[in-house]
Homo-oligomer: A and B are copies of this chain.
Amino acid sequence: MSTPKASGEAPRRRLPRGALTPERIVTASLALLDEQGLAAFTMPRLGRTLGADQTAVYRHFASKDDLVLAVADRLLTEAFEDFEPAGDDWRGTLVDVCQRVRTTYVSHPAAAVLSGPRITTGSSEMKAADAVVGALRTAGIPDPELALYYRVIADFALLWSGGLAGFRILDESIQEAERTTWATAYATAPDQFGNLHAISGDLDRIESEQVFDTALELLLDSIAERAARARTGQDTA
C-alpha cells in the first residue's frame, strides 16, 4: 500500500522518464520570470511549475547559475531568430541588431537583468556579431579602428538594453518615488538647480526607449562621419 496520505493534496505522480529536458526547463524558467518576476525564480517554484520535484532540475543543470546561462543564451537566440543583415544598408543593419536586443530585453526584463551581466560580446549569436563587423566594413571604416567601433556597438546594445530592463523591473511605485525625488530636491534648493529646472517639463515627456534610439543615432552619425573622413584620405589627428 504505497498510497500516500489521504489528505486533500493531490499527491502528484512521479513524472515519466523524459518529461524534463533542458529546453523545457529553460522555457519554463523564462515563463516564470516573465509572469512572476525575478524574486519568484527559485528552484522550488520552478520545480512546481514543471510538475516535478524541486530538485529535479539538477539532473539537467549543475547549478542555478548554469541554468541562468542557458536562459541568457535563449534570450539572444530569440533576439536574432530569422535575422539577416540588410545588404549594403550598413546603418540599417546596425540599427536592426541593436533594436532586436533592446526589444527582447524589454519583453523579458527579469530574465534580461538576470543574464545581462553574464552575456558578453561573443557568447553566442556570432552571426549578428559578424554582421555588425560586415556593416562597419561596408561603411568604410578602416581596419584597426573597426574593432573598436564593433565593441562600441556590441556593448551599447547589450549594456544599454540591460540597463533599460533593470529600470523596467522596478515596481511602478518605486519608479514613482524616484520621480518625486526631483520635486523634493527642487523644493529644498530651488535656485541651485536652475538649469535642471528649466527643462524639467521637457524631461517628463521622455521615454527611455527614445533615449536609446537617440543615443544610437548619435553613435552612428559619428561613425558615418569618421568613415567619410577615412574615405577622403584625411586622418583623425
Contacts and interface: CB of A to CB of B under 8 A. Distances in A.
Q: Which among A164, A166, A167, A215 has the greatest number of chain B C-beta atoms within 10 A?
A: A215
Contacts of A163: 116-117, 155, 158-160, 162-163
Contacts of A181: 122-124
Given A126-B192, A146-B202, A148-B206, 11 more contacts: A126-B193, A129-B196, A130-B192, A130-B193, A133-B199, A137-B195, A147-B202, A148-B202, A155-B208, A155-B215, A163-B163
A30 interface: no
Given A160-B160, A163-B159, A222-B218, A169 B117 contact: yes
Contacts of A116: 163, 166
B214 A178 contact: no
Nearest to A113: B117
Interface of A: 113, 116-118, 120, 122-124, 126-127, 129-131, 133-134, 137, 143-144, 146-152, 155-156, 158-160, 162-164, 166-167, 169-170, 175, 178-179, 181-182, 185, 189, 192-196, 198-199, 202-203, 205-206, 208, 210-211, 214-215, 217-219, 221-223, 225
Contact of A199 (B118, B143, B159, B199): B143
Contacts of A221: 222, 225
Nearest to A118: B170
* Copy total for this chain: 2
Contact of A196 (B130, B155, B162): B130
Contact of A117 (B152, B167, B193): B167
25 contacts: A116-B166, A117-B167, A117-B169, A118-B170, A120-B167, A120-B175, A120-B178, A123-B178, A126-B189, A131-B195, A133-B199, A137-B195, A147-B203, A147-B205, A148-B210, A148-B214, A151-B203, A156-B160, A158-B163, A159-B164, A160-B160, A160-B163, A215-B219, A217-B222, A222-B222
A149 to B, nearest CB: 7
A178 B122 contact: yes
Contacts of A175: 120
